[in-house]
Structure 1
Amino acid sequence: MSAPAFDLSGRVALVTGGGRGIGAAIATRLAEAGASVVIANRTLDVAEALAADLTARNLSARTAPLPGLGRAELHDLVGSAAAGAGRLDIVVHNAGGCPWASIDELDEEKLEQALSLNLKACFWLAQAAAPIMRRQNFGRILVTSSVSARVAMAGGAHYSAAKAGVNAFIRGAAFEYARDGITVNGVEPGFIAKDRGSMSKPEVADRLGQFIPVGHYGEADDIAFAMLYLASEQAKYTTGQTIVVDGGSTLPETGYAVEKHWGLS
């Protein structure tokens, strides 16, 4: 058998929000490339099920609880992830989301949730991981951002603002850590197929798919493989960047442009 395209043997990776969907795909692809993966998830039994599946395939995976998003909790999480092997090479902050609300309906709790989960956690995870990575002269800090950072969606201004902040964090952190062997990058997913929620309904997916230039939703693996590259040695000269993985959905000026070009009704 030939060696994997991206070899992460001996690397230790922490993935937040790694229990299902994009996070599970990222954890799986990192493990398949040889990394020892720590799956952190609020719903621990979901993470444990994934870890058991990976372990059954002779891959290295364990779980860690994600009880909160404050500085102390995330510093403890990083310490726990590094404790087993004495190192931590890759941190993927994939946990994200927020309750949707218009600006008029927004309250402090919803805004704080969006900022804490999506943006503030980036700072605390990097702050905790950087000293470990600096000693190793190797580190990959990766974040699942969103195309929402560059486009508008009704009811999601607070989410878009948080993700735009994430992209600014990526650039700033990449600059600060550039001489420490640490790269900082992200991936911006567009519409990705899910197994739950209103957007998972076939009629919704079919309708929205018409407005995506490639004609359909993406898959969680589309994000995971981009992350796998960014986590690898081959990405050593890439830092401060986000890879947009959206099937071209941010290319046309409007949905009308898609309809007109492909003659959709």
Structure 2
Amino acid sequence: MTGKVALVTGGGRGIGAAIVTRFAEAGASVVAANRTVDVAEELAASLKARDLKVEAVPFEHLDREGLHGLVDHVANQHERLDILVHNAGGCLWASLEELDQHQLDQVLSLNLKAAIWLTQAAVPHMRHSRGGRILVTSSVSARVAMGGGAHYSAAKAGVNAFLRGAAFELAREGITVNGVEAGFIAKPGRGTMSHPDNMRRIGHFVPIGHMGEADDIAFAMLYLASEQAKYVTGQTIVVDGGSTLPETGFAVERQWRSI
């Protein structure tokens, strides 16, 4: 990726930090955009100490104008934009009956609408460079259900559909559009899901036997951003340790008892 410029949203912690690190190690100049910019600045400083090219910028606005401004700033500063990764995402969990307007708007804006506006903003710059890679961190929630996350599943399913439509429109421009559907990924120190006891409990129901790591997503992104993936577009790679394979968690337990 030497000479390439990449913009990664949500690039301060967890999966985003892993993507930023692996892209920088591959030779790219990486801009980590994060809502808590000080966290991204700490990551950038640690990678710069290794002579890697990383900088941090704020990821503040989710509206069309703000996201276009972010992309244009990065592309103009570096005189090109080759790779866009919309990794920022999340969910304000709520049951369907308790879901309110704010929760729905936030989840749709961060996960789906931002992917659309960022892509729209990136296209002119990638066209100027005669090609590019647009990537989104999606989720297996796009295809399976989780209590309290119907709106999140809808947003991620929308992301997957958007990737296909955008890939079709941009294929002749040499711009590929793909995503990675993340399963249960451990983010140590963040949230209750990454508490050791919960990680063990969740890992018991994953066919591979444990939760994934941020690098599992980062390396899939690294492939999709590379020249080796130049003929791949409109696709998602599921990285979930086989979580979506069994019909139920009971099936996993039965499989393990038979070994």
Deviation at 1:45, TM superposition (A): 0.3
CA deviation string 1:164-198 (max 9, x = no partner): 00000100000000000100000001001112211
Distance (whole Å) between structure 2 residues aligned to residue 213 and residue 240 of structure 1: 27
Distance (whole Å) between structure 1 residues aligned to residue 35 and residue 197 of structure 2: 31
CA deviation string 1:92-135 (max 9, x = no partner): 00000021000000001000001000000011001100011012
Deviation at 1:84, TM superposition (A): 2.1
Amino acid paired to 1:30: F
Structure 1 residue 232 corresponds to structure 2 residue 226: yes
Structure 1 residue 137 corresponds to structure 2 residue 137: no
RMSD: 0.8
Structure 2 residue runs without a partner (length 5+): none
Which residue in the other structure is 2:167 paired with? Answer: 174
Structure 1 residue 85 corresponds to structure 2 residue 78: yes
TM-score after normalising by structure 1: 0.96
Which of structure 1's runs of 4+ aligned residues deviate more than 6 A? Answer: none
Which residue in the other structure is 1:70 paired with? Answer: 63
Query: How many pairs were matched up?
Result: 257
Structure 1 residue runs without a partner (length 5+): 1-7
Structure 1 residue 118 corresponds to structure 2 residue 111: yes
Amino acid paired to 1:225: F
Distance (whole Å) between structure 1 residues aligned to residue 72 and residue 167 of structure 2: 22
Structure 1 residue 249 corresponds to structure 2 residue 238: no
Secondary structure at 1:251 match in 2: coil
Distance (whole Å) between structure 2 residues aligned to residue 212 and residue 233 of structure 1: 32
Secondary structure at 1:88 match in 2: coil
Distance (whole Å) between structure 2 residues aligned to residue 12 and residue 99 of structure 1: 32
Distance (whole Å) between structure 1 residues aligned to residue 156 and residue 236 of structure 2: 11
Secondary structure at 2:32 match in 1: strand
Distance (whole Å) between structure 2 residues aligned to residue 222 and residue 67 of structure 1: 27
- Among all aligned residue pairs of Structure 1 and Structure 2, give the percentage whose two residues are the same amino acid: 72
Which residue in the other structure is 2:187 paired with? Answer: 194
Amino acid paired to 1:99: L
Structure 1 residue 19 corresponds to structure 2 residue 12: yes
Distance (whole Å) between structure 1 residues aligned to residue 248 and residue 47 of structure 2: 42
Secondary structure at 1:101 match in 2: coil
